[in-house]
Amino acid sequence: MARVVVDVMPKPEILDPQGKAVTGALARLGFAGMSVRQGKRFELEVEGEVTEERLAEVRRAAETLLANTVIETFDVRVEPAPASAAEDNDAEDNDAEDNDGADDNAAEESTADENEAESAEEAELTAQAG
């Protein structure tokens, strides 16, 4: 299977309040001289070979559903698959079978910490944008 990526961005003349909020947050955190425009990324797993006809079909899908072409632009590209992706998946499956649950608990704690940090950041951005 091949991966096709569709990047969707607001057109330059369209206001981007989310990008402005992130730009302001970066400046407050000490990351000066950066300007952000926020978009969307879609990853499509395409069966079979990616031909020009298949890419044209993905472009039609992007134009029809993934992007609002009145206010957004999009770019379609094929992303190379990692050479060892199948080997990595097999190794992960084997590790999961050997796991006694300790890794799961650590991962859940890490995810909870990340969610808490993201919630705090979202609250700050909402307060700034509002």
| pLDDT single digits (tens) 44-86 | 999 989 999 999 999 999 999 999 999 999 999 999 876 655 5
Is residue 4 within 8 Å of 80, Cβ to Cβ? no
User: Does the pLDDT value for residue 6 go beyond 60?
Assistant: yes
Cα 67 to Cα 71: distance, rounded to the nearest angstrom: 8
| pTM as predicted | 0.61
User: Does the pLDDT value for residue 108 go beyond 80?
Assistant: no
When pLDDT is cut at 50, 70 and 90, the band that residue 107 belongs to is: very low
